[in-house]
Amino acid sequence: RNLNYWERMGIPGPKPYPIIGNMGDIFIGKRGAEEIYADIYRKYEGYPFVGVYKAGIPVLLVRDPDLIKNIVQKDFNIFHENDIFVDKQIDPIFGRNPFAVKGAEWKNIRSQMTSCFTSGKMKGLFPVLEKNVERMMSYLDNQMKTSTCFEAKEIFVRLMLDNVAACALGIQGKCFDEPYSEVRKMADHFFFSKGITSLKFIIIFNLPPLSKFLRLKVVSRDVEDKLLDIVKTTLQYRKENNIVINDILDSIAQISATQNVTELDITSHIATFFTNAFETSSLTMSFLIYELAQNPKIQEKLRQEINESYEKNNKSFSYESIQDMEYLDACFRENLRKHATVPLMPKICTETYKYVPTNPDFKPIELTLEPGTSIIIPSTAIHHDPKYYENPDDFVPERFLGKENINKFTYLAFGGGPRMCIGTRFALSQIKIGVAHLIKNYEFTVNPKAKIPVKYDPFYFLLTASGGLWVDVRKINQ
Ligand code: HEM
């Protein structure tokens, strides 16, 4: 395949350059992949798809929501693989992550992990998550004696790591007690948004063939050993002392009683909470608090709902009362609409596939995809298309109050179809509990250090704000 592949296939697209294709700006740090794709998306209004090149690799950028529906749901049997390469021999932990595995192995791992996320399980974890929010608020109160200005993500990374440590590993993360706790150290080995490690992630998530060639791995040997050790020791301790905690580690351990699941499998399921859960959730929560800081009327409206719910529920929150808050849910969804933390979904076509758009909004161009073709679903670009969301740069939770108007294939914050994010419930639960307590007890305003509008970090594969999300915090006297 070469740089006139899409032209030969009759698919329009921007002119590519040798070696870099259409992605040159990533390598010079000017724009991230999601911004490059969003720009191309905007320029090709009326086209159902666009042919682009990730370096020298042809990739189909999908614009038509009907085709997105076919890819993630209707024709899932043809598009069941994510476009990422991880060798299990080189990276035994991430190589077992549901996002990375394919075929029958994916089905098996996905079904093993599904039992961790039932609503009963989430309800059981509510007190654990609430306890960690209390720790966070004590930390804030203490810090506020010297400064009222905080970088939101730094606080929420600590919260989400304490949550992962408590729910998935059965240990105290101590992220609010120590400046650099063991759990924090371990997490930093998964995600580094600076230097050579960030280049590694750009390659793994954008250039699978190069990742294969360089034998790159997500989880370092150190972390692999540490996680295996914690899981082994905790499971042994619980077994010897007959302890049943009903947390995620217990759910996964129970699977091993009925299925052929090794200690390495259990550890990799636990590692999924580090690779997929804490960073996505802390980024999402920091964007949400930041949006509320920028929009005081919305913040106040949300506070009213939270206070009413708190009073109605005997001066407390419960799993159900948090789920029942409609405006909180609308704020949560609108935040992920505006800042889709996972901004792109890379898929692979595994068989020859033909498609002609029937939606009159798009030109009826015939598409034939060959097996092995890479596909990008540009969630950020779709979430900012004024055809689907009027004034897309504004933060308007109300658009999610009458949800029936929203086509679910134009709202892709958690993906869709059988590969949709497995941790949606856990993410919703931990973020909403945190936000409910924070908005009840504190008022947030934007600190002048913050950049408005947010500029995203071009070197990171998740949506992250360059320079941080700075807010001022004031305690509300009850
Ligand atoms: C706000 C936080 C989160 C966001 C925005 C998010 C978003 C996403 C998205 C967009 C996908 C791809 C879905 C697709 O291909 O259709 C995904 C997959 C996944 N997410 Fe999340 N996620 C979040 C939190 C979590 C949490 C808390 C977990 C818990 C472990 C998790 C575990 C996973 C896994 C395992 C997959 C791969 C699923 C598969 O391919 O079968 N995520 N997530």
- What is the Cα–Cα distance from 22 to 154, expressed in whole angstroms? 33
Residue 46: CB atoms within 10 Å: 8
Residue with tokens 């159900």: 320
Of 62-71, 216-225, 263-272, 325-334, which range is least confident?
216-225
Residue with tokens 């060959």: 370
Give, using CA atoms, the residue closest to atom 24 of ligand 1. Answer: 277
Say yes or no to pLDDT of 362 above 90: yes
Residue 60's H or E segment, with its range, is strand 57-62
What the block records as the tokens of 148 is 């009222």
Q: How confident is the model at residue 355 (pLDDT cuts 50, 70, 90)?
A: very high
Ligand 1 atom at shortest distance from the alpha carbon of 284: 1
Rg (the chain; Cα; Å): 22
pLDDT at 311: 97
Give, using CA atoms, the residue closest to atom 42 of ligand 1. Answer: 423
Choose between 235 and 136: higher pLDDT. 136
Say yes or no to pLDDT of 70 above 70: yes
Q: For a pLDDT cut of 70, what percent of the chain falls above it?
A: 97
Q: How confident is the model at residue 478 (pLDDT cuts 50, 70, 90)?
A: low
pLDDT at 211: 82
Q: Strand 442-446 to strand 57-62: parallel, antiparallel, or no bridges (unpaired)?
A: unpaired
Which one-letter amino acid corresponds to residue 219? V
Ligand 1 atom at shortest distance from the alpha carbon of 426: 27
Q: What is the pLDDT of residues 5-26, one digit of tens each?
A: 999 999 999 999 988 899 888 8
What spacing in Å lies between the alpha carbon of 475 and ligand 1's midpoint? 33
Mean pLDDT of 188-200: 64
pLDDT at 212: 82
Could you tell me the strand order of the sheet in which 374-377 lies?
49-54, 57-62, 374-377, 345-348, 81-82
Does residue 268 contact residue 274 with C-beta atoms inside 8 Å? Answer: no
pLDDT at 326: 96
Determine what percent of the chain falls in helix, strand and coil, rounding each to the nearest 5. 55, 10, 35
Find the residues whose C-beta lies inside 6 A of ligand 1: 72, 98-99, 110, 272-273, 276-277, 280-281, 284, 336, 341-342, 345, 413-416, 419-423, 426-427
Mean pLDDT of 328-335: 98
- What is the Cα–Cα distance from 39 to 32, expressed in whole angstroms? 11
Q: How confident is the model at residue 302 (pLDDT cuts 50, 70, 90)?
A: very high
The SS3 of residue 48 is coil
- What is the Cα–Cα distance from 140 to 132, expressed in whole angstroms? 12
The pair phi, psi for residue 453, each rounded to 5°, is: -70, 165
Could you tell which of 107, 160, 414, 420 is best to mutate to test the pocket of ligand 1, judged by most ligand atoms within 8 Å of the CB?
414
Query: pTM to 2 decimals?
Result: 0.94
Say yes or no to pLDDT of 46 above 60: yes
Mean pLDDT of 301-327: 97
- Cis peptide leading into 453, omega within 30 of 0? yes
pLDDT at 470: 96
pLDDT at 200: 75
Could you tell which of 101, 281, 421, 432 is best to mutate to test the pocket of ligand 1, judged by most ligand atoms within 8 Å of the CB?
421
**118: number of CA atoms within 13 Å, CB side?**
10
Residue with tokens 């029937």: 358
Residue 453: CB atoms within 10 Å: 8
pLDDT at 129: 96
Q: How confident is the model at residue 383 (pLDDT cuts 50, 70, 90)?
A: very high
Ligand 1 atom at shortest distance from the alpha carbon of 416: 16
Does residue 218 contact residue 94 with C-beta atoms inside 8 Å? Answer: yes
pLDDT at 289: 98
pLDDT at 193: 47
Say yes or no to pLDDT of 330 above 90: yes
Ligand 1 atom at shortest distance from the alpha carbon of 412: 10
What the block records as the tokens of 56 is 């020298």
Does residue 350 contact residue 82 with C-beta atoms inside 8 Å? Answer: no
